[in-house]
Amino acid sequence: MLNLDTLLLVQVCVTLLTTALLVASACYAGSPPELRWWAAGNLVVSAGLAMANLDGLPFIFSAIIGYGVIAFGMGLVLRGLRVHGSATLSWRVVAIVTVLALLIPAYFTLVVPSLRGRLCFSGFYFALLNWLCAVTLARQGGWRGIAICVSGFAVLGLALFMRGAHMLRHADPADVPASLVMGASMLAIPLAQVCIVFGMILMVMWRYAERLRHLSTLDALTGALNRGGLENEGKRVALRAQRGRRSLAVIMIDVDFFKRINDTYGHPVGDEVLRHLARMLKLELRPYDLLARFGGEEFVLALDGLDRQAAIKVAERLRARIELELVEIDALSVRYTASVGVVTSDEHGYDLIRLISAGDAAMYEAKRAGRNRVIAG
């Protein structure tokens, strides 16, 4: 038979340690908002558990208020899970969750006194809230970062449900603590708490790692891929086109007289010209095409499935649109043109470096030929 006093001590210690871990993780300036909601929710849940179990407090705290405080903390945790999925949870829902946790125990305490009813309700109700947390996370997808946390919420909900169901079968709650089911549930609860908190921190780590990876491959000014991102993603695009036996087109685009724009209007205007060009090029991309800033005022387009003639048509359309566009910043209106070089894998193979080199040569040929034109290498 499991020693329930020892398990209760373990549960209290695990609750305090996991709460302290979350609070410590949330106590720095750059912590994500969901981590702060999770820390606040765990603090409130810990306070509610203390109210429900300490003997020195008035009876109303252990019989009624403690349940409401625990439910309010679960509402904060659920709100944090929603924020992690780029959504939110209204305070009205949090209030409803809290009020229900107050009204039902108040009914079984003040109207129809029943310790059995109150304990069964708490088991079922908090099991439902934990399962709701698990479902909220599961619907966000990306199991690599959330599987541990979802499992923890599911197991915790199951343990609480088993406790409530077991109490429902006993007329006298005094007989319940000696059961094996109660011992097993009390063993499962701290293990599930560890999984939940470990999973929450792991989710934040994955999110930050993904953001860092994303930032390391993007150009800060234009939002296009940088050269490192082009090298990584371009290999995938080239390999995919080669396996599918499709042509791969590379279009090199360079802003004409960009130094003159900087010297005449200033670097902020030059930066806006580059951002404008990047936004316009992105509108022309299909989901599986690539756009990268290759350096300075030069951009690269990698287009899967376009042969030489189709790529020339796309390049000519882009060149004409660039010529007609007007960049407005403050009181200035600036027009600019671009020289474009086009190459395809039909002539140069699927090596991306070789394609970019050939496209760069074609683009400089367009500049030597008078700029604002398309040259196919």
10 has pLDDT over 80 = no
Which range among 52-56, 137-141, 157-161 shows the weakest confidence by mean pLDDT? 52-56
List, by residue number, the catalytic residues.
297
What is the rounded CA–CA span in Å between residue 33 and residue 20? 17
Residue in the structure block whose two tokens are 């800033």 = 293
- pLDDT (0 to 100) of residue 281: 93
What is the rounded CA–CA span in Å between residue 198 and residue 22? 9
161 has pLDDT over 90 = yes
What is the rounded CA–CA span in Å between residue 102 and residue 98? 6
pTM > 0.85: yes or no: no
Token pair for 345: 């894998």
184 has pLDDT over 80 = no
What is the rounded CA–CA span in Å between residue 261 and residue 170? 84
Residue in the structure block whose two tokens are 């359309």 = 317
- pLDDT confidence band for 22 (50 / 70 / 90): confident
| More confident of the two residues 29 and 297 | 297
What is the rounded CA–CA span in Å between residue 190 and residue 345? 59
Token pair for 14: 């695990």
Residue in the structure block whose two tokens are 């234009």 = 222
Average pLDDT over residues 114-118: 88
- pLDDT (0 to 100) of residue 5: 65
Average pLDDT over residues 11-17: 81
Mean pLDDT (the chain, rounded): 88
Contacts of 227 (CB under 8 A, 6+ apart): 292, 294, 295
- pLDDT (0 to 100) of residue 328: 87
What is the 8-class DSSP label of residue 111?
A: I
Domain 227-376, architecture per CATH: 2-Layer Sandwich (3.30)
Alpha helices in the chain (DSSP H): 4-26, 33-53, 59-60, 66-84, 91-106, 115-138, 143-168, 180-216, 227-243, 258-265, 267-284, 308-324, 345-348, 352-368
For residue range 186-213, what is the model confidence (pLDDT) as tens digits?
A: 778 888 888 998 888 888 888 888 778 7
- pLDDT (0 to 100) of residue 4: 62
Average pLDDT over residues 86-112: 93
3-state helix, strand, coil in the chain (%, to 5): 70, 10, 20
Token pair for 72: 């309010």
- pLDDT confidence band for 171 (50 / 70 / 90): low
111 has pLDDT over 80 = yes
Report the percentage of the chain scoring pLDDT > 70: 94
- pLDDT confidence band for 173 (50 / 70 / 90): low
What is the rounded CA–CA span in Å between residue 248 and residue 246? 6
175 has pLDDT over 60 = no
For residue range 328-351, what is the model confidence (pLDDT) as tens digits?
A: 888 888 999 999 999 999 988 999
- For β-strands 248-255 and 298-304, DSSP reports them as antiparallel
What is the rounded CA–CA span in Å between residue 244 and residue 249? 14
